[in-house]
């Protein structure tokens, strides 16, 4: 299962001084490469008992941070409430690339959650109402029954935003760009937040 990395690598001169501009470039290249769900990211959260990781979808990003949406009663939300620090990983392995992000997590505004929720397909909106995310479920039929109940409840008019559902923003203090190289001598550049500025350092592979 061993595979040699063959990319030409990256140099310090190629890295934009702004990590969000650099991320946007790599995200664009991942999209143009037709990767499956280039916005899929691993999200790691923790509490005093355990560390959890799962795949979620990045829905927007800017210099304020990286936004995803979830049920506020889910396990990830419970862990974030206890420990508002998290890590993200974008595994663009077909491009021999990864991006690792660490930062503090905060809820986005209700207005921004409403804007995104209203853009979702109606069945996805109903799914948010139907699922007690991370809760125990007696059967799949029980979930489908709840989904049908929500379809009936909201069959007229728009589906409102549940008060238990919305967005989180990961506000980074560390962003690492990883490019695979031959002989496992990978290129790694990390952006570290210092006050209002970002400094860039090369890391050993």
Known active-site residue 120: no
Look up residue 69 and give its two tokens.
């949406």
Nearest to 128 by CA among 118, 136, 138: 118
Nearest to 29 by CA among 104, 128, 107, 95: 95
Among residues 3, 181, 184, 202, the one annotated as catalytic is 184
Concatenate the DSSP letters of all residues of 106-166 into one string. Answer: EEPPHHHHHHHHHHS-HHHHHHHHH--TTS--S-HHHHHHHHHHHHHHTSSSPPPPPTTEE
List residues with catalytic annotation: 184
């Amino acid at each position: 299962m061993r595979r040699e990395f063959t990319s030409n690598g990256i140099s310090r001169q190629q890295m934009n001084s702004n990590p969000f501009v650099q991320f946007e470039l790599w995200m664009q290249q991942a999209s143009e490469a037709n990767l499956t769900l280039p916005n899929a990211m691993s999200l790691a959260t923790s509490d005093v008992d355990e560390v959890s990781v799962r795949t979620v979808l990045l829905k927007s990003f800017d210099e304020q941070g990286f936004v995803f949406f979830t049920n506020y009663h889910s396990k990830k939300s419970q862990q974030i409430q206890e420990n508002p620090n998290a890590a993200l990983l974008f595994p663009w392995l077909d491009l021999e690339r990864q991006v690792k992000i660490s930062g503090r997590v905060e809820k986005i505004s209700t207005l921004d959650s409403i804007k995104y929720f209203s853009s979702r397909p109606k069945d996805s909106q109903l799914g948010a109402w139907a699922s007690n995310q991370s809760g125990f479920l007696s059967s799949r039929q029980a979930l489908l029954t709840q989904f049908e109940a929500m379809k009936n409840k909201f069959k007229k008019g728009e589906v409102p935003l549940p008060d238990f559902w919305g967005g989180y923003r990961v506000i980074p203090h560390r962003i690492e760009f990883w490019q695979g190289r031959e002989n496992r001598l990978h290129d790694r550049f990390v952006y570290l937040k210092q006050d209002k500025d970002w400094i860039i350092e090369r890391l050993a592979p």
